[in-house]
Amino acid sequence: MSTNNSFNPFRMAQEQFDHVADLIGLDQSTKELLRVPMREYHFSIPVKMDDGHVKVFRGYRCQHNDARGPAKGGIRFHPQETIDTVRALSMWMTWKTAVVNLPLGGGKGGVICDPHNLSMREQEQICRGWVRQIAKNIGPVSDVPAPDVMTNAQHMLWMMDEFETIHGGRYPGFITGKPVGMGGSLGRTEATGYGVVYTIREALKELKIDPKSTTASIQGFGNVAQYAIELYTQLGGTVIAVSCWDQKDQTSYTYKKNDGIELKGLLEITDRFGGIDKNKAQDLGYEILDGDQWIEQEVDILIPAAIENQVTGETIQKVSKKVKIIAEGANGPTTPEADAVINERNIFIIPDFLANAGGVTCSYFEQVQSNTNYFWEKEEVLGKLDTKMTTAFIAVNELVRSKNLYGRDAAYVIAISRVAQAVKDRGWV
């Protein structure tokens, strides 16, 4: 694993923003408005623990921008959560909803806690406490939360129940990522991974490469990676390596098979956190390499789909000359130093906030279904998802071609221009 203690995601998000703001000549007031969240809430959540003592957890919500519609973004439970991570992620959500042209803004929330060490009752109390602290400042028409790192459908349901208790009504559109049958959408589980592959499919068309002739290496084997592998394999591609975190050894490993990993078999030996059983993988004939080696594989496509800050100035030097596409399933996997090299080497980048926008797009579909209380079939959801992702990809790609822009810059130009236009049209600047 590549780690860098001085890595600050908010600085990186601002650096990316400043670069494009200058590129499009954004005026000073709009720049000032968009380079920080419009609103952020910091609060304490007292929770009576199972042993009777009260522990105070720290919670956050940032609403980066809501000019195009209600803020939208997940809530993370993480022991190393920081306000700067939440700020950065809220900003990236604004660009993500804008680049796929959803009528939504960007938000993010978090609680500093480690669910591994909390009972379900304690987790429920944190969820309810988080909502109580912020219930007046979020809601279906202002800010709509969702699951994120270490939060799931059950957490969303507790939060919805608390919100409805406070406001006295049924508001399923308050939150997304709910269980199917309780206001959730079919297709949400697949949405992010499939979305990544819809964009890869379009990139391969652009490069005139047959997916069947391609190979890929992936960092991560969780929700995003698993469904990306499923669809990419259906298109005829071959995944030769995946990398994931080993909880027991507290390190990561790359699992490699030259003739292609077998998804179903690997899933049978994977825990719910996306960790593969090393010994069983060895029995199945996988070569076990260092965690970092996913990036060194001689493949056509690299898909970082685990954590941030992985494709760096250092690791990019190890990327094979064969690599033609980097599709960012994870949020913030690539640093600006690595971007410079990717651009110079003419590798086709599908930036995070475009590549992994399938998740929020499906969350938007969930909001629409919840608000109308009418639920669609899975095929309808996935069909609409494909249309949205493909349309967004084509718009970005046309800008790449017509203005000879780097892929990440082109996606930013579209997203930032849309948000800047909205704040201008509203008369905010």
Q: Token pair of 295, please?
A: 């990036």
Sheet holding 348-350, edge to edge: 287-290, 251-256, 238-246, 215-219, 301-304, 325-327, 348-350
Minimum Å distance from CB 246 to ligand NAD?
8
Distance CA(221)–CA(110), nearest Å, equals 23
Burial class, 142, CB count within 10 angstroms (exposed 0-12 / middle 13-18 / buried 19+): middle
Helix (H, G, I), strand (E, B) or coil at 332: coil
Q: Among all chains, which residue has been given the structure tokens 């000019």?
A: 67
Query: Does residue 252 belong to the site contacting ligand NAD (CB under 6 A)?
Result: yes
Distance CA(274)–CA(223), nearest Å, equals 8
Catalytic-residue membership of 318: no
Q: Token pair of 135, please?
A: 């219930």
Which is closer to ligand NAD, CB of 252 or CB of 315? Answer: 252
> 423 near 30, Cβ under 8 Å?
yes
Residue number with the shortest CB distance to ligand NAD? 222
Minimum Å distance from CB 50 to ligand NAD?
26
Query: Does residue 353 belong to the site contacting ligand NAD (CB under 6 A)?
Result: no
Binding-residue pattern over the window 303 to 332 for ligand NAD, x denoting contact by CB under 6 A = --xxx---------------------xxx-
Minimum Å distance from CB 344 to ligand NAD?
25
Over the Cα atoms of the chain, what is R_g?
Answer: 21
Which is closer to ligand NAD, CB of 1 or CB of 209? Answer: 1
Contact region for ligand NAD (CB under 6 A) — 4-12, 242-250, 371-379, 412-420?
Answer: 242-250
The DSSP-derived string for 259-298 is: T---HHHHHTTB-TTS-B-HHHHHHTT-EEEEGGGGGGS-
* Of 109, 132, 114, 110, residue with least CA distance to 55: 114
Query: Does residue 224 belong to the site contacting ligand NAD (CB under 6 A)?
Result: yes
Which is closer to ligand NAD, CB of 98 or CB of 405? Answer: 98
Q: Token pair of 258, please?
A: 């030259």
Indicate which single residue of 1, 36, 112, 180 sits in contact with ligand NAD (rule: CB under 6 A): 1
Distance CA(425)–CA(428), nearest Å, equals 8
Q: Token pair of 15, please?
A: 């650096």
Which is closer to ligand NAD, CB of 109 or CB of 275? Answer: 275
Query: Does residue 359 belong to the site contacting ligand NAD (CB under 6 A)?
Result: yes
Query: Does residue 291 belong to the site contacting ligand NAD (CB under 6 A)?
Result: yes
Query: Does residue 221 belong to the site contacting ligand NAD (CB under 6 A)?
Result: yes
**Of these residues, 31, 48, 72, 108, which one is catalytic?**
108
Q: Say how far residue 163 (Cα) sits from the centre of its chain.
A: 25
Which is closer to ligand NAD, CB of 38 or CB of 150? Answer: 150
Indicate which single residue of 243, 369, 370, 397 sits in contact with ligand NAD (rule: CB under 6 A): 243
First to last CA, the chain: 43
Contact region for ligand NAD (CB under 6 A) — 24-32, 123-131, 221-229, 319-327?
Answer: 221-229
Rounded to 10 degrees, the C-alpha dihedral 110/113/116/120 comes to -80
> 377 near 186, Cβ under 8 Å?
yes
Contact region for ligand NAD (CB under 6 A) — 97-105, 127-135, 223-231, 366-374?
Answer: 223-231
Q: Token pair of 88, please?
A: 């950065």
Rounded to a whole number, what is the largest CA-CA distance in the chain? 64
Minimum Å distance from CB 99 to ligand NAD?
13
Which is closer to ligand NAD, CB of 30 or CB of 370? Answer: 370
Query: Does residue 222 belong to the site contacting ligand NAD (CB under 6 A)?
Result: yes
Q: Which parts of 140-199 interact with ligand NAD (CB under 6 A)?
A: 192
Contact region for ligand NAD (CB under 6 A) — 5-13, 244-252, 386-394, 408-416?
Answer: 244-252
- Beta strand pairing status for 238-246 and 251-256? antiparallel
Indicate which single residue of 172, 274, 351, 407 sits in contact with ligand NAD (rule: CB under 6 A): 274
Which is closer to ligand NAD, CB of 273 or CB of 428? Answer: 273
List residues near ligand NAD by CB under 6 A: 1, 192, 219-225, 243-245, 252, 274-275, 291, 305-307, 329-331, 356, 359
Q: Which residues are catalytic?
A: 108
